[in-house]
Structure 1
Amino acid sequence: MNFLPEILLAIFLVGGILATISWRKKKPDPDTIFFCLVWSCICLIFYFAGIEMLNGGYFFSLPLAYLAVFLWSYFRNKARLLNGVLFNILIFVFGFYLIYNVSITSSIVAFGLLGLALVLLAAVLIFGFVSLLIFLYWNALIVLRKESHSLANMLTLLLAIFLTIFLIYDFFIAQRLPEWLTMILAALPLMMGYFALVFFNFLSVSILYQFNHPKPNQDYIIVLGAGLLNGDTVSPLLAKRIDVAIKFYQHQIKVADKHAKILMSGGQGLDEKLPEGLAMANYAQAKGVAAADLLIEDKSTTTLENMQFSKKIMDQLQPLPYKVIFTSNNYHIFRAGIYAHQAGLKADGIGAKTALYYLPNAFLREYIAIVALYKKRHFIICGLIMALFIFLSVMSFFIG
């Protein structure tokens, strides 16, 4: 058996990864995992195309064409839920391609990737629900131990309780109900499955959105506000957003000798002694940012208003087109990107890191906000599902 393609793949893969790590170490945001994954995908594309062509096949052009569709949609507008759907379909398309590739080439690489995918899928199917419940309760305990006991910090606990109640209903109560009522309530698992699919797509696109690497040629950097401590002090969460903006600002001066304006966006809450934008600007000045490079937007109360009011300020200072990015916490930047698009801004976000224990709760909160943003669509789909099962229940009642 000829192992030359696999040997060449290993050489290019390992060599490229080592070169990528060395290259990214010199950058302010190394993100070596992302760039190593990109290089690995490029190597696999050439490997699979090469061995298939040697066997007289050209089926690899189909997943490549679909990859092109996904990339076109993603780079056209990164902040779209459609990108999550397209990416997950791409994964399935590639999975089917691996099956085809194994059948005609007997590639050990394709067989290994396919085997790994099947093992992961089996693990999810066998242990997924139980593992999810254990994880949610464990994470809820950590969050409640380290954060305030607000409703926003109890989302993982509430989800765990809901899934537990559903499990009890499914195993102990459903069999004792009348058949017509059971059939109506059978819509619930389908709705749950629908919202689970929506969450999966949201999570996929949110993770993809983390890999933004804006060029150091920006005119403006918008920092999205958050609440102040004691009404006048920048909180640790907000400080991380500002620090990310300052880091990019300093990097751009270093590599491009261009000063971006940092626009601090945040109004004054009822319990705050001064606008968030002003407190943020004071923090940035204390960190060494020149006052001439700071702008303040002090009227906004929501993320959408952050974007709308910031755009008005930038439009007054400089006619379009200007280059702009925004910073927030990593779990928030995808939804903020949607609002930027709604406000007419062609801007992508870079995220500040969040404590790992808080991410599940934070992403659940963002997911709920995304569902609320498109509530009409979800209401129609859930209404159709319920109508179908009510119809089936009525038919079953009369036929019975």
Structure 2
Amino acid sequence: MDIPRDLLALVIYLIVLIGGLVRFKHKKFKYFSLWTGLFLVLYFCVLEIQNKTFFILIPLFFFLLFCYFYFKEKCRLRNGWLLNLFLISFMGYVALVTFSSISLIGIGILAILTLLLFLTVLFGLYAAIIFLIGNSFIVLRHESRRLPNLLTLILALAILALVILQTFGPKIFPGWAVILLSIPTTIAFYFFVVFWNFLSISLLYQINQPKYNQDFVIVLGAGLIDGRKVTPLLAKRIDRAIQFYRKQSEETSSPPQLLMSGGQGSNEKIPEAQAMREYALEQGIPAEDLLMETQSTNTLENMQFSKEIMDRKKPAGYHAIFTSNNYHIFRAGMYAQDVGLNIDGIGSKTARYYLPNAFLREFIAVALMNKHLHLIICGLITLGFVALSFVSYFFVR
């Protein structure tokens, strides 16, 4: 173990980290992530040179592959798979290098990861059940008792049922039936992996920071109060667009146009876009910087009809972004890419207590976009365990 080398590396890391955090006060997380990642790459490259090995090329390959597809199309689920493949390969690489060269920093990283894994395996399910039930009560204190607001409670009860089933099932049922009990557990694990992939890329997308060179900012509509006033949720979307509008005006003296996108629902007296425009006017946005799209009835149509307006306004090309609630921007970005809009989204803040429920709702919506694939995989899982149960019942004594 080369302790002087590792201590020197840690000192350099901490000095640069502290200096950067002081300088970039408003971008602390982004700076911490970038510098920590760069430091680890440089550190392990030095170890590779000393050991005359090239194992780092494996995680580096997945990282470059992720970067290529992410910056090409940010709102694709495959980016989550590639990101997690990189993280898994990097952790495997850290373990390999740590044991082969006895790295102090590697041992520290492995110790933290091992502790987290141990705590997750030991307490993860029970902690998740307690958290989800607690969160559901908080949501119900603030929100109506509609199905979309009960998702965390439903998930907690489903996990609890699986735990009880797997704990007491083997003691009650014969072997062939116990095999069948593995079907819901395996399907649940499959959807957990899919959800983790979705959550990984959704959270990464939250730190997106578009350049201040936009021609348009699309504001996605939502329901109205009494059919004519913007809701607090919709007001936050508009406020986020106005914040970007004013910041770009300060930076470039060339503000973007705010494109309010939302049609008129059956219980609404005016189109959502009109109510949004009136709200923006009240906030001091000039009328000439406001556009309206009043035909859309869902997010896909928001993007499609907004694209048609922008194409007419600037046929030679343009830069655009969209705003919505932070939990919604990834799925909205998927719809944007589906209609040929390669644009980024910026999210308005959502009450923290509502985020678990909101991300679950978004995950369900995204999963339904690929429902045929999920049904096929669930069907194969079911058939596999039914076949094993059949063999166990007739041929195993």
- In the alignment, the residues of structure 1 paired with residue 169 and residue 61 of structure 2 have an alpha-carbon distance, to the nearest angstrom, of 49
Q: 1:18 to 1:251 in 2, by over 3 A?
A: farther
383, 396, 400: which is aligned to 2:392?
396
Asked whether the 8 Å contact 2:311–2:317 carries over to 1, the reply is: no
Unaligned runs of 5+ in 2: none
| Counterpart in the other structure of 1:13 | 13
- In the alignment, the residues of structure 2 paired with residue 387 and residue 72 of structure 1 have an alpha-carbon distance, to the nearest angstrom, of 37
273, 281, 288: which is aligned to 1:285?
281
- In the alignment, the residues of structure 1 paired with residue 2 and residue 388 of structure 2 have an alpha-carbon distance, to the nearest angstrom, of 59
TM-score (norm 2): 0.95
| Counterpart in the other structure of 2:298 | 302
135, 141, 160: which is aligned to 1:139?
135
Paired AA for residue 83 in structure 2? F
| Counterpart in the other structure of 2:348 | 352
Give the percent of matched residue pairs that are identical in Structure 1 and Structure 2: 45
Asked whether the 8 Å contact 1:262–1:294 carries over to 2, the reply is: yes
Return the offset for 1:18. 3.8
Return the offset for 1:182. 3.3
What are the equivalent positions in structure 2 for 1:325-340 lying under 5 Å apart? Answer: 325-340=321-336
- In the alignment, the residues of structure 2 paired with residue 171 and residue 3 of structure 1 have an alpha-carbon distance, to the nearest angstrom, of 47
Unaligned runs of 5+ in 1: none
Would you identify which runs of 4 or more consecutive aligned residues in structure 1 move more than 6 Å? none
- In the alignment, the residues of structure 2 paired with residue 88 and residue 139 of structure 1 have an alpha-carbon distance, to the nearest angstrom, of 27
In the alignment of these two chains, the number of paired residues is: 396
Return the offset for 1:69. 1.2
Return the offset for 1:172. 3.0
Paired AA for residue 14 in structure 1? L
- In the alignment, the residues of structure 1 paired with residue 366 and residue 277 of structure 2 have an alpha-carbon distance, to the nearest angstrom, of 30
Asked whether the 8 Å contact 1:12–1:43 carries over to 2, the reply is: no
- In the alignment, the residues of structure 2 paired with residue 380 and residue 49 of structure 1 have an alpha-carbon distance, to the nearest angstrom, of 43
Return the offset for 1:12. 3.9
Q: 1:10 to 1:168 in 2, by over 3 A?
A: closer
| Counterpart in the other structure of 1:190 | 186
- In the alignment, the residues of structure 1 paired with residue 307 and residue 228 of structure 2 have an alpha-carbon distance, to the nearest angstrom, of 25
Q: Does 1:161 align with 2:118?
A: no
Return the offset for 1:183. 2.6
| Counterpart in the other structure of 2:207 | 211
Paired AA for residue 242 in structure 1? I
TM-align CA RMSD: 1.7
Q: Does 1:370 align with 2:366?
A: yes
What are the equivalent positions in structure 2 for 1:89-238 lying under 5 Å apart? Answer: 89-238=85-234
| Counterpart in the other structure of 1:361 | 357
Q: Could you list the per-position Cα deviations for residues 18-54 of structure 1 after superposition, in whole angstroms to 9, with x for gaps in the alignment?
A: 44334434xxxx3321222111111121112113312
Q: Which moved more, 1:95-104 or 1:2-11?
A: 2-11
- In the alignment, the residues of structure 2 paired with residue 339 and residue 363 of structure 1 have an alpha-carbon distance, to the nearest angstrom, of 17
Asked whether the 8 Å contact 1:5–1:47 carries over to 2, the reply is: no
Paired AA for residue 244 in structure 1? R
Counterpart secondary structure, 2:65: helix
- In the alignment, the residues of structure 1 paired with residue 21 and residue 286 of structure 2 have an alpha-carbon distance, to the nearest angstrom, of 33
TM-score (norm 1): 0.94
Return the offset for 1:185. 3.3
Return the offset for 1:106. 1.6
